Structure 1
Amino acid sequence: MTFESDHNIHIDVETDYIPEQSLPEANRYVFTYTVTIRNDGKVPARLIARHWVINHANGKVEEVRGEGVIGEQPYMRPGEGFRYTSGTVLETPYGDMTGSYQMLADDGAEFDAEIPAFSLTTPNTLH
């Protein structure tokens, strides 16, 4: 049986290491991440806020909360999407991120769209 949710937000993330902005000798590793958000549900929804958990390989954990993404609160009708690129700095050559987007649907429902964990890894890093 297939269940189609009124509120179904699909999230894909692609990452990239930026060596020209990184300083490994100073424990500074810069990464970008490009997020594609798609409304696969039946109801239009707006991304209101974000919550990120950033895990460094040395055990450090950062949490980031804020309104929207890159200064926007994108509105997506069913079948529509939004894509943006942002970045983060780690103290280690690898780590990961996870989190959620807080959404508000046109039917009044508030819900979280979970962002699956993704790795941030410099090239040729084994872990």
Structure 2
Amino acid sequence: MNSVSSQDNTQVDINAQVHFIEEQSDQYNERFVFSYTITIENRSAETLQLLARSWLITDANGNKVSVEGDGVVGQKPVIAAGQSYQYTSGSIIKTPLGTMEGFYTLQDLNGKEHKVQIPVFRLAVPNILN
């Protein structure tokens, strides 16, 4: 498990926890499957809606994949002040080590958009770095 947190000037905390899914992975076919659980905590005084996500996924060979889309896991959650939202998704890379990073686009009730940085976090097979 890997955990990382970030706080943006919009007072939103992002926390990521990563798990390697060994039973769905196949090292001989360069398939390494990871799940990640993201918690988005709205520490601001305003209600925010998550409109979009943008990811940059990089494997250990330097191959990069960009993923952009509306919302997360088919939802555009509204996160009230002082509340949090959590979801789990996954990523498949060709190496036992990689990274993910990106940003969320959130909108307040006045229609102002905020880009909240998601700090880089590691996708790693357990004990790969020992």
Q: Please state which band the TM-score falls in when normalised by the shorter chain.
A: over 0.9
Matched pairs, number: 123
Q: Which of 107-116 and 18-27 deviates more?
A: 107-116
Partners in 2 of 1:13 and 1:6 — Cα distance?
A: 18
Give the Å deviation of 1:124: 1.6
**Superposition pairs for residues 55-94 of structure 1, below 5 Å?**
55-94=58-97
* Structure 2 SS opposite 1:69: coil
State whether residues 7 and 43 of structure 1, in contact with CA within 8 Å, keep that contact through their aligned partners in structure 2.
no
Amino acid at match of 1:118: F
Amino acid at match of 2:102: G
Q: Which of 49-58 and 108-117 deviates more?
A: 108-117
Q: Deviations over 1:85-117 (max 9, x none)?
A: 000001000000000000111122111011011
Give the Å deviation of 1:6: 8.2
Partners in 2 of 1:44 and 1:35 — Cα distance?
A: 19
The answer to whether the aligner puts 1:12 opposite 2:15 as a matched pair is yes
Give the Å deviation of 1:123: 1.2
Aligned-residue RMSD, C-alpha: 1.4
Partners in 2 of 1:71 and 1:11 — Cα distance?
A: 19
Amino acid at match of 1:102: T
| Equivalent in the alignment of 1:104 | 107
Q: What TM-score, normalized to structure 1? A: 0.93
State whether residues 102 and 113 of structure 1, in contact with CA within 8 Å, keep that contact through their aligned partners in structure 2.
yes
Q: What TM-score, normalized to structure 2? A: 0.91
Can you give the 5+ residue segments of structure 1 that lack an aligned partner in the other structure? Answer: none
Can you give the 5+ residue segments of structure 2 that lack an aligned partner in the other structure? Answer: 1-7
The answer to whether the aligner puts 1:121 opposite 2:124 as a matched pair is yes
In structure 2, relative to structure 1, the CA distance for the partners of 1:6 and 1:42 (3 Å cut) is farther
Deviating runs (4+, > 2 A) in structure 1? Answer: none
